[in-house]
């Protein structure tokens, strides 16, 4: 602190003696940008065509080897997803080692090794690099695909796809790609449950044997190693890797829409609209516009201090964040501006997006805004140079994208040279509010408010797979009522309609325990659900014996506990528990005060289902679907709002595989989707009348 005060005093004295005054209204001129010394980057090429770049860094006794393929995008057809699967399979066993043996050897030396569809990465202490390279070269050159491993990966990917169906971001990304590039373009192709199921082991092997070749590969060697050591190691472990002819492909370059189109993806129950204003641009990696366009976008929407953010969040409070990005790509670049906004301000948000997109085209930015972004980019670039992996990536990019040899060495000079006029030129060239796809994922009820933003003043509706949306709602047959649907559901589950006989049968069941297995993001959990008459309830989720989450209600009070601590259940949640904890509450809806409204029929998983709004006694609405033929409830949807943040989340539950136990039918598979997550639970056992003690619920 004393040192800072001394410096300030000296500065004050200098200005006093010179008689000059500091004009704080003038932005100081930046000094000349330095040329960056990236350090010594060595390179060599093996006889098989493998290009190797070496970056020495002796600060830590570690070495990493990064392999990267340089191949064209590939159309995957009715097996879309097989390339990703193949990349994962490469690391799951070789002709001489099982996956378990590879994992054990890597763990033993404290290293890491991963494979993916476009390469592999391994890192270890220098003293263990021979063992690392033994394993890495083995998986790269001798991968031996196993059917059981393929089935495991398929299951994980299908589980992930199920989660994406309820993620507005995932839906927007997929549908935008389909509409902009088409399903016959590699950037518009997407995986589905069906395409993943179609994937064969032979197709994955075909990708591996065709494309994993040294003559289309780069390797970066970074760390505590010399050029001579790197040459010796790479030649020893990868010199026998056989080169081969690798196919190349050409695709038509997609163009921006000829006029702005509003596309709306209906997702029932969403309280927010996910807005994406997007289109392809011709901006390849070696285009001299890249740095100037990046700076322009940084001012427009690249951060939390950029114009879109300051307008839509700080100025109008429409969203938690609004951003834009401009991407260069060797095939075709893209522009995207996005935000999640409240339903009721979707149209107002689009107005403000247009304000900022047009403003950066028509008005020159200020010198202060430009210098702020330049300073930030200069700082982040300089910081990135601390990582030797960055230097290696620069070397590969220079060769791969045919960049000028001094591109990164003069990067700061290129930033410094950008002018206000350059920014406006980039905006006029790449910002196209009149030639964009405005894609909105939300509830179709607000779709019509967005029509004025389309060139033809109409909205095109699509489903989550990018197909033209067809209104699914149908009228229910004459004579069918909400009450008859509920009554039919009770008969399907309990074998009889409400009445004395049903009451007598259910009265014999004093307690029920249901044990389930569950999976979320590939992790296995155990779930137990207990109920005791008349209204005691417990559900507990554990992983490896540790309680992840527990909810208990003793008939009067409730409590949540688990990894985040314990808390009492209060307010609306407690009122909900008082009703839902009643055993066989679905047979007592009418006397409990529930209200119903029949909305019509919709298709659920290929079969027609009656759609009802069910309103609880405390006024909370849920949507239920009941299969027309079986009568069983097959789906429900509810919207939960966080009391602190005010954010809402739609929870969708599907119920499948009904089986009878002790005269009552239970859905043996229950899947809950909430946000990007999906929890699948399967019943493994049911126990009735176990003489459960009351203290279980305390």
Reduced 3-state DSSP string for 155-168: HHHHHHHHHHCCCH
Per-residue model confidence (pLDDT) at position 646:
59
Contacts of 409 (CB under 8 A, 6+ apart): 35, 36, 37, 38
DSSP string, 148-208: HHHHHHHHHHHHHHHHHTT-HHHHHHHHHHHHHH-TTSTTT----HHHHHH--HHHHHHHH
Mean pLDDT per block of 10 residues along the chain (698 residues) reads 34 34 50 66 95 93 96 96 97 94 96 96 96 97 96 90 86 95 93 96 97 97 95 97 96 92 90 95 96 98 96 96 96 96 96 98 96 94 87 92 92 95 98 97 91 94 88 86 95 91 91 91 86 93 89 92 88 86 90 92 90 90 94 91 67 93 94 80 94 90
- For residues 132 and 237, what is the distance between their CA atoms, to the nearest angstrom? 10
Say what the pLDDT of residue 166 is: 81
CATH of domain 482-697: 2.50.20.10
**Can you name the residues that pair with 527 across neighbouring β-strands?**
516, 541
Question: What pLDDT does residue 642 have?
Answer: 67
DSSP letter at 313 equals I
Q: b/e string for 528-562 if b means 16 or more Cβ within 10 A?
A: ebbbbeebbbbbbbbeeeeebbbbbbbbeebeeeb
Cis check for the bond before 534: say yes or no (omega within 30 of 0): yes
Using DSSP's 3-state secondary structure scheme, residue 585 falls into helix
The superfamily in CATH containing domain 41-165+183-238 is Metalloenzyme, LuxS/M16 peptidase-like (3.30.830.10)
- CATH superfamily entry for domain 261-462: Metalloenzyme, LuxS/M16 peptidase-like (3.30.830.10)
Q: Which helix (H) or strand (E) holds 548?
A: strand 546-553
Q: Give dist(CA 342, CA 646) in Å, integer.
A: 11
b/e map 365-403, b = 16+ CB within 10 Å:
beeebbebbbeebbeeeeeebeebbbbbbbbbbbebbee
Q: Which residue from 341, 307, 504 is spatially nearest to 423, judged by alpha carbons?
A: 307
CA distance 695 to 698: 5
Only one residue has tokens 């006889």, namely: 47
Q: Are 398 and 390 in contact (CB under 8 A)?
A: no
**Which DSSP string do the residues of 597-640 spell out, in sequence order?**
EEEEEEEETTEEEEEEEEE-TTS-EEEEEEETTT--EEEEEEEE
- pLDDT, residue 22, reads 43
447 burial level (CB within 10 Å; 0-12, 13-18, 19+) = buried
Q: Whole-number mean pLDDT of the chain? A: 90
Question: 272: helix, coil or strand?
Answer: strand
Q: Taking a C-beta distance cutoff of 8 angstroms, is the pair 601, 609 a contact?
A: yes
As a whole number of angstroms, the distance between CA 66 and CA 52 comes to: 10
Q: How far apart are CA 230 and CA 54, in angstroms?
A: 7
* Backbone φ, ψ for residue 274 (5° rounding): -95, 110
Structure tokens given for 499: 């009445």
State the Cα torsion 358-360-364-369 to the nearest 10°: 150
Neighbouring residues of 380: CB distance < 8 A, sequence distance ≥ 6: none
Three-state helix/strand/coil letters over 341-384: EEHHHHHHHHHHHHHHHHHHHHCCCCHHHHHHHHHHHHHHHHHH
Which residues make beta-bridge pairs with 283? none
Task: Answer whether 41-165+183-238 and 261-462 agree in fold.
Answer: yes
Instruction: Determine the 3-state secondary structure of 100 from DSSP.
Output: helix
E strand or H helix that includes residue 217:
strand 217-223
- Are 44 and 53 in contact, with CB atoms under 8 Å apart? no
Residues facing residue 336 across a β-bridge? 278, 325
Contacts of 225 (CB under 8 A, 6+ apart): 54, 56, 63, 126, 129, 233
Q: CA–CA separation, 76 vs 86, rounded Å?
A: 12
Residue 620 CB: number of other CB atoms within 10 A?
Answer: 15
Domain residue ranges in the chain: 41-165+183-238, 261-462, 482-697
- CB-hemisphere CA count at 13 Å for 102? 27
Contact 223, 64 (CB under 8 A): yes
């Amino acid at each position: 602190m004393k040192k800072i005060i001394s410096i300030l005093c000296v500065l004050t004295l200098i200005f006093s003696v010179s008689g000059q005054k500091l004009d704080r209204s003038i932005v100081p001129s930046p000094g000349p940008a330095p040329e960056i010394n990236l350090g010594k980057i060595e390179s060599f090429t093996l006889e098989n065509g493998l290009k190797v770049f070496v970056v020495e860094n002796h600060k830590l006794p570690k070495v990493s080897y990064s392999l990267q393929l340089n191949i064209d995008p590939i159309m995957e057809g009715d097996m879309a997803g097989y390339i990703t699967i193949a990349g994962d399979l490469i690391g799951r066993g070789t002709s001489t080692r099982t996956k378990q043996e590879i994992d054990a050897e890597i763990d033993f030396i404290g290293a890491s090794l991963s494979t993916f569809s476009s390469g592999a990465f391994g890192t270890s202490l220098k003293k263990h690099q021979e063992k690392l390279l033994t394993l890495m070269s083995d998986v790269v050159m001798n991968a031996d695909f196993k059917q059981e491993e393929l089935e495991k990966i398929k299951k994980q990917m299908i589980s992930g796809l199920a989660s994406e169906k309820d993620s507005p971001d995932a839906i927007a990304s997929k549908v935008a790609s389909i509409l902009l590039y088409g399903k016959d373009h590699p950037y518009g192709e997407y995986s589905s449950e069906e395409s993943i199921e179609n994937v064969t082991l032979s197709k994955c092997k075909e990708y591996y044997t065709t494309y994993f070749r040294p003559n289309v590969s780069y390797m970066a060697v970074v760390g505590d190693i010399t050029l001579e050591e790197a040459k010796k190691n790479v030649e020893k472990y990868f010199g026998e890797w056989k080169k081969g002819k690798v196919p190349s492909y050409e695709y038509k370059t997609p163009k921006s829409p000829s006029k702005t189109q509003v596309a709306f993806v209906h997702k029932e129950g969403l309280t927010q609209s996910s807005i994406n204003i997007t289109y392809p641009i011709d901006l390849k990696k070696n285009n001299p516009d890249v740095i100037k366009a990046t700076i322009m976008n940084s001012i427009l929407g690249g951060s939390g201090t950029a114009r879109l953010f300051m307008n839509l969040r700080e100025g109008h409070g429409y969203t938690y964040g609004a951003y834009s990005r401009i991407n260069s790509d060797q095939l075709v670049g893209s522009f995207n501006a996005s935000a999640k906004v409240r339903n009721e301000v979707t149209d107002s948000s689009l107005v403000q997006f247009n304000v900022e997109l047009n403003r950066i085209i028509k008005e020159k930015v200020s010198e202060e805004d430009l210098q702020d972004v330049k300073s930030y980019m200069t700082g982040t670039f300089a910081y990135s140079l601390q990582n030797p992996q960055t230097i290696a990536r620069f070397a590969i990019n220079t060769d791969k994208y045919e960049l000028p040899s001094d591109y990164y060495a003069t990067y700061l000079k290129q930033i410094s040279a950008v002018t206000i006029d350059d920014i406006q030129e980039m905006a006029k060239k790449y910002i196209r509010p009149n030639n964009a796809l405005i894609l909105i994922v939300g509830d179709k009820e607000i779709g019509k408010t967005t029509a004025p933003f389309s060139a033809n003043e109409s909205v095109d509706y699509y489903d989550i797979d990018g197909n033209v949306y067809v209104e699914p709602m149908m009228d229910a047959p004459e004579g069918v009522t909400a009450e008859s649907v509920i009554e039919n559901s009770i008969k399907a589950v309990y074998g009889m309609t409400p009445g004395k006989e049903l009451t007598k049968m259910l009265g014999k069941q004093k307690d029920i325990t249901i044990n389930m297995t569950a999976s979320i993001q590939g992790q296995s959990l155990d779930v137990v659900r207990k109920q005791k008459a008349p209204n005691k309830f417990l559900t507990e989720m554990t992983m490896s014996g540790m309680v992840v989450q527990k909810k208990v209600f003793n008939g009067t009070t409730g409590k949540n506990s688990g990894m985040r601590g314990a808390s009492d259940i209060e307010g609306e949640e407690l009122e909900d528990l008082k009703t839902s904890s009643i055993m066989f509450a679905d047979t007592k809806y009418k006397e409990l005060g529930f209200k119903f409204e029949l909305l019509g029929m919709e298709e659920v998983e290929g079969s027609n289902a009656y759609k009802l709004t069910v309103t609880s006694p405390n006024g909370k609405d849920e949507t239920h679907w009941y299969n027309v033929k079986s009568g069983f409830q097959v789906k429900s949807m509810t919207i939960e709002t966080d009391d602190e943040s005010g954010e809402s989340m739609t929870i969708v539950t599907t119920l499948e595989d009904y089986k009878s136990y002790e005269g009552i039918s239970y859905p043996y598979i229950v899947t809950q989707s909430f946000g990007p997550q999906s929890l699948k639970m399967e019943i493994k056992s049911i126990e009735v009348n176990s003489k459960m003690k009351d203290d279980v619920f305390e």
